[in-house]
Amino acid sequence: MSNIENRKREHVEFALSEGSQGRRSALWEDVHLVPVSVPDMGPADVDLSVDFLGHRLSTPLVISGMTGGHARAVEINRNLAVAAEELGLAIGTGSQRAALKDPDLVGTYSVVRTHAPAAFVIGNIGMSQLISQEGESPMGRDEIDRAVSMIDADALAVHLNAVEELVQPEGDRNMRDLSGGIVNAVRWSPVPVIAKETGAGMARETALRLAETGVAALDVGGAGGTSFARIEALRADAIGDTTGVRIGRTFGDWGVPTAVSLLEAGSAGLPLIGTGGVRNGLHAAKAMALGASLVGIGGPFIRAALDGPGAVIAEARLVLEELRVAMVLTGVRDVQGLRRLQPVLVGRAAEWVASRGGTRSTRPRQ
């Protein structure tokens, strides 16, 4: 087993542990939707379809990219893909770096498209691979084409994982001209590029800078869910890397909580995907009321995938029904109506907005 393949396997194993979860809240508890006591509608009247990057999706729910590149990923990704196809969910893969280096691992990713032929599929490459690293040349047009074609991707995520790389024992620490690398990816990719944070969220300044690179959408990946800094601290502890353990624990909750990250990133005027600590349909409704076009869930679905596609389908149906109920209780019939709501912010979310000069979403484009 290669080093990358082994690392991908460990990421899944540690992601399923309690120690992988951040101690910081995504701040959904500080976001309140104004109730409508006489909604004049029911769940059957709700339309969950949404436009995103030129595609009409039947639901706004995304199975966030989590894994690939190791033997166990075949079963996990197959089960996730079956659910995506059954329910009309969008679905992402984990980083495709492993398969770009070892063609024998392509099947751990392509299984997604095989079992979800009609789904909106999002590929995944890392920001660090877009620039030179020690002993390794930057990813070029050919590798980007291969990443897209191996899963017939509809969009390509460039994951932003600075905290993880700085904690990871074998992390890529050169981060000079990452913006230039993203510009190249946008220019070379045959499909729209999504800039995807992985647990540290996006501040307004970052979102505006990313918009200048030409990316088509932002996945805020806010703090409040799985913490890759904590995962890397667990990996470091397993090999006796005391420095990695210390830095991982110190920065385990680094970042912008998801709820306020959506408000911050909305300043860029790009379509948003709200991920990070989304655990139910009410969270999803709040994320869309804060400006998200789509909402991503990772951890709960990957846990369900270990029990088969039926478990993923059951969990996703619950989330979607909770979302419909939230829409009925706020009196909106479609996703656009949900995104026009003005949620009430209290507590730490309100304090964050006040301290940042009144940051509020500009209702980004679809």
Arithmetic mean of pLDDT, 91-117:
95
Query: How many whole angstroms separate alpha carbon 344 and alpha carbon 334?
Result: 20
Identify which of 281, 293, 168, 295 has the alpha carbon closest to the alpha carbon of residue 233: 168
Kind plus residue range of the DSSP H or E element containing 349: helix 347-355
- Note the pLDDT of residue 177: 93
User: Tokens 């992601």 — which residue?
Assistant: 15
pLDDT tens by residue, 193-228: 999 999 999 999 999 999 999 999 999 999 998 888
Arithmetic mean of pLDDT, 97-124:
96
Burial 188-224 (b: 16+ CB within 10 A, else e): bbebbbbbbbbbbbbbbebbbebbebebbbbbbbbbb
Q: Is the pLDDT of residue 110 over 70?
A: yes
Q: What is the pTM of this model?
A: 0.93
Asked whether the beta carbons of 155 and 194 are under 8 A apart, the reply is yes
Asked whether the beta carbons of 253 and 167 are under 8 A apart, the reply is no
Which residues are CB-contacts of 310 (< 8 A; sequence separation ≥ 6)?
none
How many CB atoms sit inside 10 A of residue 134's CB?
7
Give, in order, the Cα–Cα distances in Å from 332 to each of 39, 46, 317, 324.
8, 8, 19, 9
Phi/psi at 47 (nearest 5 deg)?
-110, 115
Arithmetic mean of pLDDT, 237-264:
94
Query: What is the rounded average pLDDT for all residues in the chain?
Result: 92
Asked whether the beta carbons of 278 and 64 are under 8 A apart, the reply is no
- Note the pLDDT of residue 287: 98
- Note the pLDDT of residue 362: 46
What are 125's strand-pairing partners? 158
Identify which of 242, 235, 291, 286 has the alpha carbon closest to the alpha carbon of residue 262: 291
Identify which of 363, 167, 156 has the alpha carbon closest to the alpha carbon of residue 268: 363
- Note the pLDDT of residue 127: 96
- Note the pLDDT of residue 135: 82
Identify which of 95, 34, 31 has the alpha carbon closest to the alpha carbon of residue 224: 31
